[in-house]
A and B are shown apart, each in its own frame.
Chain A
Amino acid sequence: MSERREFDVLVVGGGPAGIAAACCAADAALHVAIADDNPSLGGQIWRGESASPSTKEATFWYQRVKGLGVEHLAGTRVFAQSEAHTLIAETDSGVCDIAFQNLILATGARERFLPFPGWTLPNVMGAGGLQALAKSGWNVRGRKVVVAGTGPLLLAVAAHLKQYGADLRLIAEQASWQQLVPFTIGLWRQPSKLKDALSLRRQLLGVPYLTSCWPVAAEGKHKLESVTLRRGARTWSVPCDYLACGFHLVPNTELAALLSCAVENGRVRVDDLQQTTVPGIYCAGEPTGIGGLELSLLEGQIAGYAAAGRLDSARCLFADRDKMRRFPLALERAFALRPELKESPQPETLVCRCEDVSLSRLREHASWRAAKLLTRCGMGPCQGRVCGPALEFLLEWKPESVRPPIFPVRVESLVAAARTDSETLHNTALRS
């Protein structure tokens, strides 16, 4: 028998958007919980900071969420909907049904990875990936690191790793200087972001930062030993222990899609109150479009107030949020992927790392559906979360529909979920 919990408002995702949403809903004296698959609150950006937050903003939100009696369901992986207004999650000890009146999705984003020869070698990691490990107890002191890919995350990761004592060899940003200049000038309109950018630059003095530069191969026998970079006509190799490589972020929209919320251009569609196309389900933060910390906090607050019925409080934040919404557009333009990146993977380069499917095998098929059936691409444990965004860029394949469970779960969990399902059917039958 699985455990059952009930809340007025359930927030899925414990990053800044989820924390802000939970606080605003709890402020209205509602019974609120945050379900999150990480061990502690804070999402990726505040990972590992719950005991000693690094900024005033993080301190403020951690104190608020702790003071308001929001229940934190840690290590809770939501994988399906068991009935209307009830999600089912796997925990370390079993399965939990979580019922709610209103739901707020704050499922964050993941990095986009693009394949190139050698990208599956141990010690080739995501940029956010290596940072997450450094925040989780891995000591990078003295390790030679190349940071590569695209997006504002690269500088933040590089500064963070340097602070932890890593020996940063190079930061390779694929976007051109011409693309980045208007973005940087645009930051004048957002003083907090400009301050962050200048501070990052200062922390990274002495570390080469190359634009229009990207990794074309990673080499090593049993693990990474060097990375080959390209810039214009020049190609050269840089010895390193780690390659931290990510190509900006992709919204996590799987749970929203599973719950039948409209997802357009990879983003969850929301109205002014952050409500999705399904009444009673709200969405805040990166799933509605990659917009960064400040926008996530504003969207979270609006969603929280709206879910608690405090519409006037929600409306007071519209102007601030709408001003911040310029930032995602600027990000998209500045860090658009250059077409040359499509030439990096060779025919034998693996694209699907779960099922080890090469690009040449995928090219034999016209769509992801066909490739899935015949190659198992996207059918491994990550369920296409890594290869999906890569294939969208490489072959312009559109993502497939989402099916439960949205994460691989233990057989016992599936059995428990099926039992809940049949109980629900049974109860429905009795009622009718």
Chain B
Amino acid sequence: MRDAVQMKVNGIAIRVPRGSTVAAAVLLAGRSAFRRSVSGELRGPLCGMGICFECRVAVDGQLHVRSCQMLCREGMEVTLSE
């Protein structure tokens, strides 16, 4: 990957194409489930455009970030709740 960004998803280092969203990075890290719902169901992205909030994750310590609306940055650390 010539133009790539190095970042971490749950502590695992990955490289993603520059311009990718955090949601794409989480999927590239092999995760389909991004979070658990209030009753404990596994959930992943639904709308892909910032409406549904199903893809929210923690980015560099900031909670509840819509991963589909944020671009990956060098050194970014994404945390999914287990």
Listed in ascending order, the chain A residues whose CB lies under 8 Å from chain B are 37-39, 44, 48, 51, 75, 92, 110-111, 113, 120-126, 128-133, 136-139, 222-223, 350, 353-356, 380-382, 385-386, 408
Q: State A75–B66 Cα separation when bound (angstroms).
A: 11
In the complex, per-residue mask of B47-74: 1 if CB is within 8 Å of any chain A CB, else 0: 1111111101000000010001111100
The B contact surface, by secondary structure, is loop
Residues of A within 8 A of B48 (CB): 125-126, 128-133, 136
Q: Which of A110, A126, A129, A137 contacts B24 (CB 8 A)?
A: A137
Given A39-B69, A122-B32, A133-B23, answer yes or no on A223-B52 (Cβ-Cβ < 8 Å).
no
Q: State A128–B48 Cα separation when bound (angstroms).
A: 7
Residues of A within 8 A of B44 (CB): 122-123, 125, 223
Residues of A within 8 A of B32 (CB): 122-123, 222-223
Within the complex, what minimum Cβ distance (angstroms) separates A26 from chain B?
25
Within the complex, what minimum Cβ distance (angstroms) separates B13 from chain A?
17
Q: Which of B17, B64, B72 contacts A408 (CB 8 A)?
A: B64
Whether A138 pairs with B43 at a CB distance below 8 angstroms is no
- 8 example contacts (A-B, Cβ-Cβ < 8 A) are as follows A38-B50, A133-B21, A136-B23, A222-B42, A223-B42, A223-B44, A356-B39, A408-B53
Whether A353 pairs with B21 at a CB distance below 8 angstroms is no
Q: Which of A132, A353, A386 contacts B37 (CB 8 A)?
A: A353
Q: State A51–B49 Cα separation when bound (angstroms).
A: 19
Q: State A129–B50 Cα separation when bound (angstroms).
A: 10
Whether B68 pairs with A133 at a CB distance below 8 angstroms is yes
User: Looking across the interface, which residue of chain B has its beta carbon closest to that of A130?
Assistant: B48
Whether B68 pairs with A353 at a CB distance below 8 angstroms is no
Residues of B within 8 A of A356 (CB): 37-39, 41
Q: Looking at B19, B49, B64, B68, which has the most chain A CB atoms within 10 Å of its CB?
A: B49
Given A133-B68, A355-B38, A356-B41, answer yes or no on A386-B25 (Cβ-Cβ < 8 Å).
no
Residues of B within 8 A of A386 (CB): 46-47, 51-52
Given A356-B39, A356-B41, answer yes or no on A126-B53 (Cβ-Cβ < 8 Å).
no
Whether B49 pairs with A110 at a CB distance below 8 angstroms is yes
Whether B17 pairs with A128 at a CB distance below 8 angstroms is no
Given A120-B37, A354-B53, answer yes or no on A137-B43 (Cβ-Cβ < 8 Å).
no
Within the complex, what minimum Cβ distance (angstroms) separates B18 from chain A?
9
Q: State A326–B17 Cα separation when bound (angstroms).
A: 42
Given A122-B32, A123-B44, A223-B44, answer yes or no on A138-B24 (Cβ-Cβ < 8 Å).
yes
Whether A380 pairs with B69 at a CB distance below 8 angstroms is no
User: Looking across the interface, which residue of chain A has its beta carbon closest to that of B35?
Assistant: A122
User: Looking across the interface, which residue of chain A has its beta carbon closest to that of B70?
Assistant: A39
Residues of A within 8 A of B51 (CB): 110, 382, 385-386
Whether A133 pairs with B42 at a CB distance below 8 angstroms is no
Residues of B within 8 A of A130 (CB): 48
Given A223-B33, A381-B56, answer yes or no on A137-B41 (Cβ-Cβ < 8 Å).
no
Whether B46 pairs with A125 at a CB distance below 8 angstroms is yes
Residues of A within 8 A of B28 (CB): 137-139
Q: Which of A120, A129, A138 contacts B49 (CB 8 A)?
A: A129
Residues of A within 8 A of B33 (CB): 122, 222-223
Q: State A44–B51 Cα separation when bound (angstroms).
A: 12
Q: Which of B42, B49, B64, B72 contacts A122 (CB 8 A)?
A: B42
Known: A223-B32, A356-B39, A408-B64. 16 other contacts (CB 8 A): A44-B49, A51-B19, A122-B43, A125-B46, A125-B48, A126-B48, A133-B45, A136-B23, A137-B16, A137-B24, A137-B72, A138-B24, A222-B33, A223-B44, A350-B41, A385-B51
Whether B47 pairs with A133 at a CB distance below 8 angstroms is no
